[in-house]
Amino acid sequence: MPQPVKDRPDPNAPMRLKDIIPIAFPHGGITPAGLRREAKRGRLKLMRIAGKDFTTLAAIEEMQRLCVVEPEQKEPALHPDDEAKASLSAARAIVKELRETGKISTSLNRRRR
């Protein structure tokens, strides 16, 4: 559960990564190395001062918004007969286009008996 607002520092105050993690992620699950990886991916803004990495709570909140994963929209499964019909229809469309553009010779257009 997040800490009450009165106990949270200024969201724009720079803090060391190791110090900001208990505030931004009270249940753990992230390390300073993990935050650095997110910075390399362009999702977290860091400040490097005297060789030490700093960020803000506001930057972490922005990173969390950028890291939201939307659920995948799955297409309904097709019946095998429907898949075959769709494949045959696609193949016929390709042949029609090749015939119209002249990329299939006329000798191939005739059926062999």
Residue 40 domain-assigned?
yes
> Of the candidates 50, 59, 44, 51, which has an alpha carbon nearest to the alpha carbon of residue 14?
59
Say yes or no: 58 and 17 in one domain.
yes
Q: Would you say residue 74 lies in a domain? A: no
Number of structural domains in the chain: 2
- How do beta strands 47-49 and 15-16 pair? unpaired
- CA 112/CA 86 separation, integer angstroms: 26
61 and 102 part of one domain: no
Other CB atoms within 10 Å distance of the CB of residue 30: 15
What does the pLDDT look like over 2-34, one tens digit per residue? 554 567 789 999 999 999 999 999 998 999 999
Residue-wise pLDDT tens digits, 56-95:
999 999 999 999 998 887 777 767 777 788 888 888 988 8
